[in-house]
Structure 1
Amino acid sequence: MTDYLGIYLNDQLAMGVLWRELARRAARNNAGTEAESALNEVAHEISEDVETFRAIMDRTGVRVSRVKSTAAVAAERVGRFKPNGRVFSCSPLSRFTELEILIMGIDAKKQLWSTLRDAAGLGESLPDIDFDGLIERADRQSTMLKPWRETAGRAAFRTSS
């Protein structure tokens, strides 16, 4: 394993932690809405993906950078303070932005699994990791959230403040 792979894995773990936290927040913010079930499912699966990723790091001998993972959680928390048109509640823009960022992260995760499988050669050295299944799961997650993103976009951009 190269130092570059270790750096890459830690950077990607930090991003996975950030998306996990965002998915959990989006699920909480959408409690009681039609999107709640899909967001809860995706948040749960992203948590599982982070654990799979940690297992890959462990099996490749890469130590987890607590600094990067902690910074990712902090960045997600700071992101909550961005102006969204409301002070004490979730705005339609926040709902849309959360879903948009989640879908971007899921699409990036598909690329990550492909990179690990092919470019890093982990498909061969870790044959029990179902990289194809992880890519398919990410596709399904994205497909599951896209209709809710579109609905949230219409609610955010077609209403007056």
Structure 2
Amino acid sequence: MPRMQADPLGVYLNDHLTAAFAGAALADRMAGAHPDSRRAELSRLARDIEHDRDFLVRTMRTLGVPVHRYRTWLGLAGERLGRLKPNGTLLRRSPLSDLVELEALRTGVEGKAALWRALGALAEADHRVDAEELKRMGDRAAEQARTLDGWHRQVSGAVLADRPAVDAHR
């Protein structure tokens, strides 16, 4: 019996959409967990990530790629399961959570930037895809990465420096 061939573009875009739902949920949760001055910046980043996700959905529709709704639920479930990671505390949020979540979000932004570049290559042959808009999306991803890198430097310095002293006589 012949195997059905999956549509590479459909699989690729739905994979990114799954990650986009997880990333938007993570950014939104991070914003809610920070009552300090970073909350406004994280809220803006969460809105930008949601806008990026919505742009991906519109692009998929333009290209005639069906959105697999069950995949969006997988992304949301994956983000929630990520909260169960051991972090050194049982009943409260660990400072290490900030560092790990920033790294996860930064990884997602880099994946999103790669998506916009890949779609930019597609736009050369498929004029349904707006190459200029993809460039703007790539520029925004680069700005998001710079912002996250700055926060990462601050958080990693604070979190990793706050550790028990090592006994030099061992």
| TM-score normalized by the length of structure 2 | 0.86
Match of residue 79 from structure 1: 82
Deviation at 1:148, TM superposition (A): 1.3
Corresponding letter in the other structure for 1:96: L
Deviation at 1:49, TM superposition (A): 0.5
- Say if 1:93 and 1:156, in contact at 8 Å, map to a contact too: yes
Deviation at 1:144, TM superposition (A): 1.5
Corresponding letter in the other structure for 1:106: V
Match of residue 27 from structure 1: 31
Corresponding letter in the other structure for 1:64: V
Greater RCO, CA 8 A, separation 6+? 1
Corresponding letter in the other structure for 2:110: D
> d(CA) in 2 for partners of 1:122 and 1:20?
30
Identity %: 31
- Say if 1:24 and 1:43, in contact at 8 Å, map to a contact too: yes
1:114 matched to 2:125: no
> d(CA) in 1 for partners of 2:32 and 2:125?
35
Q: Which runs of 5+ in 2 are unaligned?
A: 1-5, 165-170
1:54-65 pair list within 5 angstroms: 54-65=57-68
Deviation at 1:39, TM superposition (A): 1.1
Aligned residues: CA RMSD: 1.9
87 and 122 in structure 1: CA distance in 2 versus 1, 3 angstrom threshold = farther
In terms of fraction of residues, the more helix-rich structure is: 1
Which 10-residue stretch deviates more, 94-103 or 82-91?
82-91
1:51 matched to 2:58: no
> d(CA) in 2 for partners of 1:70 and 1:121?
32
| 2:137 paired residue among 134, 137, 158 | 134
Deviation at 1:80, TM superposition (A): 0.5
> d(CA) in 2 for partners of 1:122 and 1:129?
14
> d(CA) in 2 for partners of 1:10 and 1:57?
9
Which 10-residue stretch deviates more, 5-14 or 114-123?
114-123
> d(CA) in 2 for partners of 1:92 and 1:9?
34
Q: Which runs of 5+ in 1 are unaligned?
A: none
| 1:100 paired residue among 99, 103, 121 | 103
Task: Count the aligned residue pairs.
Answer: 159
| TM-score normalized by the length of structure 1 | 0.90
> d(CA) in 1 for partners of 2:156 and 2:104?
12
